[in-house]
Amino acid sequence: MTIIPMRDMKNTVEIEKRCAEANGPVFVTKNGYGKLVVMDIEYYEKTMRKIYEAKLINEGLADSENGRVIDGETLKAKLAAKYGF
């Protein structure tokens, strides 16, 4: 984990370098308390993708637990009837 004080935010080249080296977020503090998180765009996109995928998995599990599922043969028959194949 990389932690830097707010005053170091002036050196953007160094912040970018630290983000790349950490391959994760850089935490910025002000008066000893967490204030900001800075991260590389690739790390951000990867993290957001994981969150989205976890959300979809949780929705699927909830559907399964609440009986909102359909078996494969029934689905194939419905699709065949709807799209004529």
Q: What is the pLDDT of residue 54?
A: 98
**pTM of this structure:** 0.71
Which of 16, 12, 14, 13 lies closest to 41, judged by CA?
16
What is the per-residue pLDDT for 20? 87
For residue 1, pLDDT over 90 is answered with: no
| 8: exposed, middle or buried (Cβ count in 10 Å: 0-12, 13-18, 19+) | middle
Tens digits of per-residue pLDDT, 12-54? 999 999 888 888 999 999 999 999 999 999 999 999 999 999 9
Query: Which residues have CB under 8 Å from 8's CB, separation 6+?
Result: 14, 15, 28
Model confidence over 47-79: pLDDT tens digits?
999 999 999 999 999 999 999 999 999 999 999
